[in-house]
Amino acid sequence: MAKAEKYRLAEIVERFGGEIRGNPQTLIRQVATLESARAGHISFLNQGKYRKLLASTRAGAVILSKANGGLTELPRIVCAEPYLYFAKVSALFNPPQTCKPGVHGTAVVERGTRIPASVSIGAGAYVGRGVKLSRGVVIGPGCCIGDGVEIGAGSRLHARVTIYPGCRLGQRALLHSGAVIGADGFGIAQDHGVWRKIPQLGGVLIGDDVEIGANTCIDRGALDDTVVEDGVKLDNLIQIGHNVQIGAHTAIAGCTGIAGSTRIGKRCMIGGAANILGHLDIADGVIIHAAAVVTRSIKQAGTYGGHPAEDSRDWTRNIARLRHLDSLRESVRKLEQGLSMREKKA
């Protein structure tokens, strides 16, 4: 990673807005946590449970909400959303590593594929026939790009990404190591006790500004395409079945499994290890708790959790009741004993 540039608080606020309290000439070299920060670092406080660290931090400056702006005398930037602001500042100090354009000598590029001068292809990569690479694409070492794949401008594939033939990636896609795009969906039919494979004829369409985590798999469609719309963010180790559609700007945490032909709306948030059965419809703006099991369609925006998943408020109440089952059972037992003794006396 290249050495980060230095910025004064005033320069940061000029870029991203916010209010400076303290010395606007405070020089910042990098970001850090409240606990590990030193002079020249900028950190942030977003949750109250870390407030005690603010009193002891050695950071050169901090990013705070308006409500917390008076908790320290350190140079600080006060803004509406400290975590989002910190994300922007971190990106400023840590831009993506640039790659030198060109094709490594050990890479294999099949005939019929034109490589723009701005494209970088790493050691041991394979690029099939008729692949279309736009400007600034980076293909890391050991990647395998199948025939007829299209990759949009500014997209980056880290080492050992596999894209099966006929899939399309939009602009500025970011795929981490081990991701597999376009493998066959789990299409099989039973024939007198024997499973017969159903050819998977669709592809995978991925929009602009999509990030796909390490070892995440997105299956190609059985007939139509599997679709991941613009701005979707996928964590590591996610399985997305054939013909799934994921709406724009949805975020899905690691180890989630989504069975085939489910449609997930726009701007949803799905927690880690959630399981979503096939052929369901999830409305826009739905939040699903980690480890929830979704067995039926969700038609309204809201927060859902549990097994099977239900409205989060109902689920929380039911869990609270379950915790009191033992004491309720004991109370019922005593009532029964009391009634039995009365009956004997009568």
Residue of 74, 277, 56, 228 whose CA lies nearest to 64: 74
Residue 265, CA distances (Å) to 130, 207, 292 in order = 33, 15, 17
Helical H segments across the chain, by residue range: 9-16, 51-56, 82-93, 312-323, 325-345
Which residues partner with 108 through β-bridges?
Answer: 126
Q: At what angle do helices 9-16 and 82-93 cross, to 10 degrees?
A: 110
End-to-end, the C-alpha distance of the chain in Å comes to 87
Residue with tokens 């007829």: 148
Catalytic residue among 41, 242, 249, 289: 242
Q: At what angle do helices 325-345 and 312-323 cross, to 10 degrees?
A: 50
Rounded CA separation 216/227 (Å):
15
What does the angle CA 64 – CA 70 – CA 76 come to, to the nearest 5 degrees? 45
At 63, is the secondary structure helix, strand, or coil? Answer: strand
Judged on CB neighbours under 10 Å (0-12, 13-18, 19+), 137 is buried
Residue with tokens 């009193």: 55
Rounded CA separation 102/8 (Å):
36
Residue with tokens 């070492």: 141
Asked if residues 19 and 68 have their Cβ atoms less than 8 Å apart, the reply is: no
Asked if residues 252 and 275 have their Cβ atoms less than 8 Å apart, the reply is: no
**Active-site annotation holds for 307:** no
Asked if residues 199 and 182 have their Cβ atoms less than 8 Å apart, the reply is: no
Rounded CA separation 250/64 (Å):
27
Active site residues per annotation:
242
